[in-house]
A and B are shown apart, each in its own frame.
Chain A
């Protein structure tokens, strides 16, 4: 138990991923939904960095780096869209987003 190996980090990443999943499924407020998806991305970053460290490869950190970049731009565009939606319908509740029914 004392020796922290790759497995520990991966289990941690999994737990964080599950927490993020709960958040995505549960949240009705769109803003908080986005935050929960950020948790998902973070857990994956931890996993990448850990694998990179324990295999002695820099590729993991590179991946995590690009994920961060992408997440940042995603937040920018996502919030922009959210603003437009709010201006149109005045609410950011998830249940109002039903125009794409099958």
Chain B
């Protein structure tokens, strides 16, 4: 069984290194095929491990080698496959394999084909390290690794300035959050003396509440960066500069869910400080609503889907914050499938429309891209939470959890957001595929359907998006061997809740279909203040730019010009020039003139005599 662990972990790394060998060469199809094949092997191993555990075996725990052993600090390279990490492994490897195969077709005409697969597989490897590690240090290594690979992949087309800017923004925001995470890890080590999950979670009940609160807060700050919670959320929308497979893998299914994974993994800690959990849930609800409003008016198909991811992450954090950890994990899994499917479908559309992103310029694409449309409709229905697709089961559980914990405000927010989610998803679908006339013809586009194999690659995701929800009960049974169960006190109102929620979702869909079936809305709406506020993302990026980025840049310029150039460089140059000038001044001593040399000799003799007199005098005084 350990063999499967190592295969699952290191197959992506092997693929990445293999592709990296060809990094500077023009496109070779084999890099894509080999990396996809290795990822498939990783997927098969993950599935094997999952079923092994599902059949009732003990979690597998290996320690590969010691990383650090200094003083009382002992950190090994250890890996753990238990119920939570097995679930994450399945999610990661499934979506990764699909995305890799899809990308063979998507990046078909790209010059840097090989480099793409190298970075993509490296990302999968880092993510596997993150979810499979058995201590916080390994988690952090994976954390940083996915940050780095995401930077490289967002800025993949590095000739575009907007892409490099977005990549830097993502990385810097993640780093700011990582500071909080590091402080959390330090606090853990300081109070517990070890970073292994077993030791930490065993020691946590014995610690002081204030310390636990601090730990929880700091770890959550790290999760905020990775999962793009407010206020560190602006990078997620800008990260759409990267190629669409990147968005599908990283910003829908894997990296952004790392924050949720952290909270779920550290559930013994968060269970002991429910106030922090309540704060997390509140923030999650706020983000859900906040992101959904921004998606209502956006004119960029990828950004709409990105805001929808942000919104769903808010849902996951609500669940985790309220203590319903398995619900969060379940929603994470389902969301990964249909969101990745949505992104890949959007990729098809973009490819067909020569990378055009504005849905207002599309319309009526259903006739040309039937299969893509069907897949995207499927994914959107799942996202909206309509029975019997996956989203229904997971979202519904979250709403139930909120209601049963008597957090009615949170429930209300999430309920409204569900309606908004349905609305904007179908707004996108209508504007892109239906809505009457074919606007794209006026812009001169000639769309065509994607390659057949890309559609076949997307098919498994579609299947999973449909059926994943049906496995709720076996999933609960499986996962709660490790995670705590959640008491739902809603037996009497459960049916009512389901009806109310479904009505909201269906209502949202109906409104969208009605409003957009004939084309665009009244352009006068675009002049209203509310529209402008939403369209500019509540002016938050501008705020950051004005009040944080610019002053910081000024400060850096001051430091550079005043301190670095004037002080540090000056001192170094001063040492050099003083040595040089000394040499220049004294080289006249060696002009070959004998009389001057004699003079210098006598000067030396005088100095020696002075030394002798002083020495003798000193001896006399001392003696």
Asked if the two chains touch in their complex, CB atoms less than 8 Å apart, one says: yes
Contact A94 B592 (CB under 8 A): no
Nearest Cβ on chain B to A19's Cβ, whole angstroms: 13
Those of A59-102 within 8 Å (CB) of chain B: 94-95, 97-102
Nearest Cβ on chain A to B600's Cβ, whole angstroms: 10
Contact B595 A102 (CB under 8 A): no
| Complex CA–CA separation, A24 to B595 (angstroms) | 8
Contact A99 B595 (CB under 8 A): no
Q: Does B590 contact A (CB under 8 A)?
A: yes
| Complex CA–CA separation, A98 to B593 (angstroms) | 5
Q: Does B563 contact A (CB under 8 A)?
A: no
Contact A95 B593 (CB under 8 A): yes
- A-B pairs under 8 A by CB, number: 30
Contact A100 B602 (CB under 8 A): no
CB closest chain-B residue, reference A28: B595
Contact A102 B587 (CB under 8 A): yes
* B 64-84 to A, binary, CB cutoff 8 A, 1 in contact else 0: 000000000000000000000
Contacts of B594 in A (CB 8 A): 94, 97-98
Contact A98 B591 (CB under 8 A): yes
Q: Does A11 contact B (CB under 8 A)?
A: no
Contact B595 A95 (CB under 8 A): yes
Looking at the complex, which one of B590, B591, B592, B599 makes contact with A25 (CB distance below 8 Å)?
Answer: B599
Q: Does A21 contact B (CB under 8 A)?
A: yes
Contacts of B592 in A (CB 8 A): 97-102
Contacts of B602 in A (CB 8 A): 21, 24-25
Q: Does B598 contact A (CB under 8 A)?
A: yes
Nearest Cβ on chain A to B591's Cβ, whole angstroms: 5
CB closest chain-B residue, reference A21: B602
Nearest Cβ on chain A to B511's Cβ, whole angstroms: 94
Contact A24 B593 (CB under 8 A): no
| Complex CA–CA separation, A24 to B590 (angstroms) | 18
Those of B575-600 within 8 Å (CB) of chain A: 587, 589-595, 598-599
Contact A94 B589 (CB under 8 A): no
Contacts of A102 in B (CB 8 A): 587, 589-592
Contacts of A98 in B (CB 8 A): 591-594
Nearest Cβ on chain A to B603's Cβ, whole angstroms: 10
Known: A21-B602, A25-B602. A94 touches B590 (CB 8 A): no
* A 7-29 to B, binary, CB cutoff 8 A, 1 in contact else 0: 00000000000000100110010
| Complex CA–CA separation, A95 to B598 (angstroms) | 12
| Complex CA–CA separation, A24 to B599 (angstroms) | 9
| Complex CA–CA separation, A97 to B587 (angstroms) | 17
Contacts of B590 in A (CB 8 A): 101-102
Contacts of A100 in B (CB 8 A): 592
Nearest Cβ on chain B to A13's Cβ, whole angstroms: 15
Contacts of B587 in A (CB 8 A): 102
Contacts of B599 in A (CB 8 A): 25
CB closest chain-B residue, reference A27: B595
Contacts A95-B593, A99-B592 supplied; 18 other A-B pairs, CB < 8 Å: A24-B598, A24-B602, A94-B593, A94-B595, A95-B595, A97-B592, A97-B594, A98-B593, A98-B594, A100-B592, A101-B590, A101-B591, A101-B592, A102-B587, A102-B589, A102-B590, A102-B591, A102-B592
24 A–B contacts, CB within 8 A, in A order: A21-B602, A24-B598, A24-B602, A25-B595, A25-B598, A25-B599, A28-B595, A94-B593, A94-B594, A95-B593, A95-B595, A97-B592, A97-B593, A98-B591, A98-B592, A98-B593, A99-B592, A100-B592, A101-B590, A101-B592, A102-B587, A102-B589, A102-B590, A102-B591
